[in-house]
Structures are given as structure tokens and as C-alpha cells.
Amino acid sequence: MRLKTVVSALACAAFVAIPATEGFAQKRVKWKMQSAFGSSLPHLGTSGVRFAKNVDEATDGKFKIKFEEPGALVPALECFDAASKGSVESCWTTPGYHAGKFPAASFFTAVPFGPGFGEFQAWKRFGNGDKMRNELYGQHGLIAWDSFCIGPETSGWFKSEIKGGIESLKGIKMRFFGLGAKVMQKLGVSTQLLAGADIYPALEKGVIDATEFSMPTIDIKLGFYQIAKNNYFPGWHQQTSCSELLVNKKEYEGLPKNYQMILKLALGESVVDTYADSEAKNPKAMMEMKSKYGVTNRRWEDKDLAILEQAWLDVLKEEAAKDPLFKKVADDYLAFRKTYKLWGDAQALKSTYLK
């Protein structure tokens, strides 16, 4: 018998003798992924669709994750419990939507007057941010990883120019998110947390007087400019925002090891790609809303930002005093920023030095 034939025969025999392992006959897996964001919503939803597609292609169609539109299986703000119970395997959501249960969870999404993308990711991945999140989630049978990040948001859409400064907002009803909402409450604003799809009708019907949600590329899609023509900057409450893939831990641990790795690699691609995509497209969206829809972009005065910053420091102190978990996360976050500041300040540049 020729050597080539012998080798081929032995290879075939070995293949038949080996059990259907991960290297040869990978099992098929189907997950439902409830999204808090619509599939056509730029960055927030489109990233989830792309993520599911990437996992599908990387596994030759053997690991399928079905993107479910908001509310299809679970209300947008209620996925934590559903994933914990195993009603859905995963959710494309944000930690800030669980803040009603755990106020400290907001730290894992965005922090007022917080860091840029690099510093925030450094704390989460190589500091203790992600570790503390999964310690908390693990108590509920869950695990999570960042699913995408976006840059600075705008700080609000208002029907009229705010001529009296930030303090004149006292008494208005406003959709606001996360820790920033606590700051606004401190200043006398009545805040509500609404999912993206619920904001426009609430604004239109007068249920709320103003809103913040995200950034120009996203807000233009939601049509806020049709009702409110004054868009305020900067996004002091969300300089960097990161969302998450929230997963039932047993489902994740039941995946083949290479599927687990593909999941993480696809999420890493999503974090970087979505951030870059949002930064690339926001300038054009701003210009379009100004030239085509008559939006006026306004900036809070420095004195207003000082009031907001002080209110944030007050909220930070008060929340830490009444919530041990909040204090634990806040202390770690602040300690990391204090250390990072040496490097951050040394490398800081103004936009220009030319006169």
C-alpha cells in the first residue's frame, strides 16, 4: 500500500475514533438577545445587529444570536431579571438601566464629569471596574462585558433657550439618564428614565418638557429636533458611555470554549468600531440639524458647568453615605482617576496654541 494511502486511511480512522469535539463537530447554539435599542438606531442598535452577524459568520452559522427588537420579549428596562431567570439568554443593554436596583451600576455606563474613552476603559478592564460589575451581577446568575462605547453626548434638548442659566431649570420635567439624573434632581428638575422609543411621544404630549438621550447621529434619528430646537452642550453627564452584553451565566458557561472566545472577540470589535463610527459621523449630523432643521447648538456657560459639577460632588457624597456598594465602586473609581491624573495631565493638550 502506498504511503499516501496509508496516511489518509489512518487520518480518517482517527477522525472517526475521536468524539465530536469542539475541533471537529461543533454543536449548534441558538440564543435570544433582547435589545434595549432598535435595530435601526445608529450605533446603539446597529452595533448589536453587526455583533450577532459577526458571531454567526465566525462560527459558520453554528452559533446564532437572534437580535430581538425592544419590547419583543421583555420591556427595554426590565431585561436584568429576565436574563437572571433564564427567560432570555442575553440582552443588548446598558448598566444604567439597572440603576433602579443598584445605583452603583451607573458607574459602569457613564460618570458625570468623567473620563474619556481611554481612561474609562483602563479603569474598567485593567482597574477593578469590570471585576466589581461581575461580582455584583454574579450574585444574580449573570455576567457581562462591554458591548459598545460612544463618545460625549449632548446635555439636553429644550423647546426654548435657557436664558436664566442651569438653575432656571428648576421645576421642569425632563428625561434624564443615570447618575446625571441625580445631579439634575439635586437642582430641582423632575427626571424620568424612558427608553429611547418612548421619548418622542412623551416630549410631543408634554409628559416631559425636555430630554437628553444621546448624540447627534442618534438624536436626529429619533426626531427630537421636530419639537425642541435648542440642543445644549457639552455632555457633562456622559463624556464616555459604555453599554453591555448581559448574559445568563449558566448559558455562557455551557458554551464551547471557542464560542466563548468568539463572543469576547466580537464584543471587542464592537467597542472600538462603534466608538470610531460615532465620532466620525457626529459632525455631519450636527451640521445637518442646524442647516436643514433649524437647530441651534448652544453651550452652557462655565458658571453653569461649575454649578453642575458641585451638584455632582454633593450627589457623590450623599449616595456613598447611604449605600455601601455605591461607596465601594465610587472609591475605587476615584482612586484610579487620582493615579491616572499624573499621566493624563502630563499629556493634556489644548485644541491649539496658535494665536
Q: What is the CATH number assigned to the segment(s) 156-239+288-323? A: 3.40.190.10
**pLDDT tens digit sequence for 46-89:** 999 999 999 999 999 999 999 999 999 999 889 999 999 999 99
pLDDT at residue 172 tops 50: yes
Supply the pLDDT for residue 21.
Answer: 45
B/e letters for 282-302, b = 16+ CB within 10 Å, e = fewer, are: beebbeebeeeeebeebebee
**pLDDT tens digit sequence for 87-118:** 999 999 999 999 999 999 999 999 999 999 99
Supply the pLDDT for residue 234.
Answer: 97
Supply the pLDDT for residue 26.
Answer: 79
Residue ranges of the chain that CATH labels 3.40.190.10: 156-239+288-323
**pLDDT tens digit sequence for 148-160:** 999 999 999 999 9
Supply the pLDDT for residue 12.
Answer: 42
Supply the pLDDT for residue 3.
Answer: 32
Per-chain mean pLDDT for the chain: 93
Q: What is the DSSP letter of 240?
A: S
Supply the pLDDT for residue 10.
Answer: 33
Residue type at position 177:
F
pLDDT at residue 271 tops 60: yes
Q: How far is CA 87 from CA 102, 146, 251, 338, in A?
A: 21, 21, 11, 41
Q: What is the CATH number assigned to the segment(s) 28-151+241-280? A: 3.40.190.170
Report CA 24 to chain centroid distance, whole Å: 36
pLDDT at residue 262 tops 90: yes
Supply the pLDDT for residue 25.
Answer: 53
CB 243 within 8 A of CB 108: no
**pLDDT tens digit sequence for 1-55:** 443 343 344 334 433 333 444 444 578 999 999 999 999 999 999 999 999 999 9
Supply the pLDDT for residue 6.
Answer: 33
Residue ranges of the chain that CATH labels 3.40.190.170: 28-151+241-280
pLDDT at residue 255 tops 70: yes
CB 92 within 8 A of CB 31: no
d(CA 134, CA 123): 14
